[in-house]
Structure 1
Amino acid sequence: MTNNTTYRQAIEELETILRALETDTVDVDDLTARVQRSAELIRLCKQKLRNAESAIERVFENLEEEDDSAPDEEDELPPTRSTGPGKNGSGSGRMPGQLPF
């Protein structure tokens, strides 16, 4: 088994071995070799899945860190000012949240 075998290649080889075991009359020596190869391929696939899972977790952790370090929307808005007394004495003549028209 080579380290540059892809996950897809390993799965395809496993499927080929399985089909051969299901259809062929396999002698004991060949059966042993195929089972050993299958075990190697399964270990390779498990390792590739663990590596992919770790990489994906790191991506999400980085996204969360970026979200935590980004300023909140409220921090980005300029402070509101009172424009002086209005009709109702509240300063702007509007209720909070009301549009100016």
Structure 2
Amino acid sequence: MAELEGLLDEIDGNEVDLDELAIKVERASQLINMCRGKIEQTEMQVKAIIEGLAEPDAERE
């Protein structure tokens, strides 16, 4: 996340050489995709935990 924030600051700063800009934008894209994957994986884990917590309640009723 820190790397992504640094890249975005550099890109927004208008001090990036055009040749470097494409490289930095590509790296930022890779990092965003990694973050999305981690978020989706965490979402699935949280849902599984919540479903696991709900199952014992259903059995008691």
TM-score above 0.5? yes
Query: What's the TM-score, normalizing by structure 2?
Result: 0.87
| Higher normalized contact order (CA 8 Å, seq sep 6+, divided by chain length) | 2
- Superposition deviation, residue 18 in structure 1: 1.2
* Other-structure match for 2:47: 57
Shift in Å, 1:68:
1.3
- The structure having more radius of gyration, on CA atoms, is 1
The structure in which a higher percent of residues are helix is 2
Percent identity over the alignment is 31
Question: Match for 1:61: what amino acid?
Answer: E
Q: TM-score, normalised by structure 1?
A: 0.56
Matches within 5 A, 1:30-45: 30-45=20-35
Unaligned runs of 5+ in 2: none
Q: How many residues align?
A: 61
